[in-house]
Amino acid sequence: MSQHFQHDVLIIGSGAAGLTLALTLPERLRIAVLSKGELANGSTYWAQGGVAAVLDESDTVDSHVADTLNAGAGLCREEAVRFTVENSREAIQWLIDQNVPFTRENEQDREDGGFAFHLTREGGHSHRRIIHAADATGAAIFTTLLEKARQRSNIELLEQRVAVDLITERKLGLAGNRCMGAYVLNRVSGEVDTHSARFVILATGGAAKVYLYTSNSDGACGDGIAMAWRAGCRVGNLEFNQFHPTCLYHPQAKNFLITEAVRGEGGLLKLPNGERFMQRFDSRGELAPRDIVARAIDHEMKRLGIDCVYLDISHKPADFIRSHFPTVYERCLSFGIDITRQAIPVVPAAHYTCGGVVVDQHGQTDVPGLYAIGETSFTGLHGANRLASNSLLECFVYARSAAADIIAQLDQVRPAGNLPSWDASQVTDSDEDVIIAHNWDELRRFMWDYVGIVRTNKRLQRAQHRVRLLLSEIDEFYSNYKVSRDLIELRNLALVAELMIRSAMLRHESRGLHYTLDYPEMLEEARDTILVPPIYGD
């Protein structure tokens, strides 16, 4: 039996952005935080590197802004970059106040009033400005914020809940298009419940699962982007998908990335014969931005026909390696690789979705009452390439800004009231789930082959032809059978893939993360790729 729930604020996604928003809102509000699986299954928990912020006296806001603009290859929106960086210290202080256990400069607290935390440097940054908790920053932040959320009686944490679609006035045949809630699959009961809310927030992460090889968790299926598009929101710059250059290459090492900080602390990229190669591609060598490093690795792998390259930090003292990178050390050791003595086999893998749902400085989308924060959103911060460790910062800054915007509107927005139940009267149980599995595999393979690190017009055309056939098949399946997590994710992923391909086909240049052999040069004028959805029901 399906159920109806009423909330003041419905947050779809339980990572850094979603939990920060929930904890920043007043305790008098009824807040629900939904997680597709277990709460810790999202990308936040696995983030290793840290959070970029202006924290050291030798660093400046202008320097952090300049580094971000440089990495973004002309496409960053400077006002978004400056807004994010100017609010970075306050966001970090909020995390410190929540008792996030960031790594300190030494064993004991400094008493001279200086900044007591260790800062590291990553590719593309001109200063040490990455605050971290060893090499498991995401886990430290997530665990802390989750514990805080559990202590709040007004925050309801709901696991095994998969959002199916948003409920808007337009979809209900009403005037306007305010978001009023969402239909959500309860995986425990198997029913689709109705959640009404005064405000709905998409904090569902990115869409890297669209690729065959990814560093992301299984839930990174572009759900928020797809739902927002169907509700009437514009999307921007979806052709820019960041590939993390160094994922552990081992048959049993699923989705494990080697943090950017390994290169920041002196790790060297080498070919199987021990030769370094990054200096041939960029004067910054291993500290070049991720897109340059990923393309260089991809080039060398294809040129030599090799399965991987190697990241070597074994020239550093063993104690230094074990203390700075305990998670990487232990994980690699579990596969028989001692990084204090051996180089780490690595390959690039899809990592971060730089585009997303178009939002303003408060995370507000084109649909009133609907916000998008974190990797789901397109704020203009990242441009054509994300600067390392700016992503977690964006989560905190925009979640806090969205909370302030919601608080300012509380008196004007009434409860959504009773919404119609999900109609499952025309569907049956599926006996052909093999179709979902087959389509899922096909989608991820052709996206990897045709819309990957290096693209061509012909590859993109092939991908577009295949994705449209898949969308047609998925649509038919969705119309006839009861929804499941796999079907919902496949439907969303295929739609986002089509939007990615369409965006890539519109960009007739190579810029940042979008590199095409047909247009190898960068145009003089930098323009965002903004896609506008058809009016719902047309």
Residues 53/92, Cβ–Cβ less than 8 Å: yes
Nearest to 345 by CA among 248, 214, 244, 213: 248
Spatial CB neighbours of 241, under 8 Å, sequence gap ≥ 6: 207, 208, 211, 350, 352, 353, 354, 451, 500, 513
Torsion, Cα 493 495 500 506, to 10 degrees, reads: 170
Residues 214/24, Cβ–Cβ less than 8 Å: no
Residues 377/234, Cβ–Cβ less than 8 Å: no
Task: Report the run of H or E that residue 139 belongs to, with start and end.
Answer: helix 137-150
Assign domain 246-349 one CATH number from 3.90.700.10, 3.30.390.10, 3.20.20.210, 3.10.20.30: 3.90.700.10
Cα–Cα–Cα angle for 103, 106, 111, rounded to 5 degrees? 110
| Cβ neighbours, 10 Å, residue 368 | 15
Q: What is the pLDDT along the chain (538 residues), one digit of tens a residue?
A: 789 999 999 999 999 999 999 999 999 999 999 999 888 777 888 777 799 999 999 999 999 999 999 999 999 999 999 999 999 999 999 999 999 999 998 644 444 445 689 998 887 899 999 999 987 899 999 999 999 999 999 999 999 999 999 999 999 999 899 999 999 999 999 999 999 999 999 999 999 999 988 888 888 999 999 999 999 999 999 999 999 899 999 888 777 889 888 998 999 999 999 999 999 999 999 998 777 898 899 889 888 989 899 999 999 999 999 999 999 999 999 999 999 999 999 999 999 999 999 999 999 999 999 999 999 999 999 999 999 899 999 999 999 999 999 999 999 998 877 899 998 877 777 777 788 889 999 999 899 889 999 899 999 999 999 999 999 999 998 988 899 999 999 999 999 999 999 999 999 999 999 999 999 999 999 999 999 998 654 4
CA–CA separation, 533 and 291 (whole Å): 29
- Find the DSSP H helices in 325-433: 326-334, 390-409
Token pair 């920043």 is found at: 24
| Cβ neighbours, 10 Å, residue 412 | 7
Assign domain 4-239+354-409 one CATH number from 3.90.1520.10, 3.50.50.60, 3.40.718.10, 3.40.190.10: 3.50.50.60
CA–CA separation, 322 and 74 (whole Å): 38
CA atoms within 13 A of residue 355's CA, in its CB half-sphere: 27
- In this structure, CATH architecture of domain 434-531: Up-down Bundle (1.20)
- Find the DSSP H helices in 156-240: 223-231
Per domain, the residue ranges of the chain are 4-239+354-409, 246-349, 434-531
pLDDT, position 114 = 54
Residues 361/338, Cβ–Cβ less than 8 Å: no
- Find the DSSP H helices in 58-136: 61-71, 78-86, 88-97
Backbone phi and psi for residue 116, each to the nearest 5 degrees, phi listed first: -95, 5
pLDDT, position 110 = 45
Torsion, Cα 296 298 301 303, to 10 degrees, reads: -70
Residues 311/258, Cβ–Cβ less than 8 Å: yes
CA–CA separation, 131 and 112 (whole Å): 19
Query: What's the whole-model pTM score?
Result: 0.90
SS3 content of the chain, % helix, strand, coil (to 5): 35, 20, 45
Looking at the annotation, which residues are catalytic?
290
Spatial CB neighbours of 319, under 8 Å, sequence gap ≥ 6: none
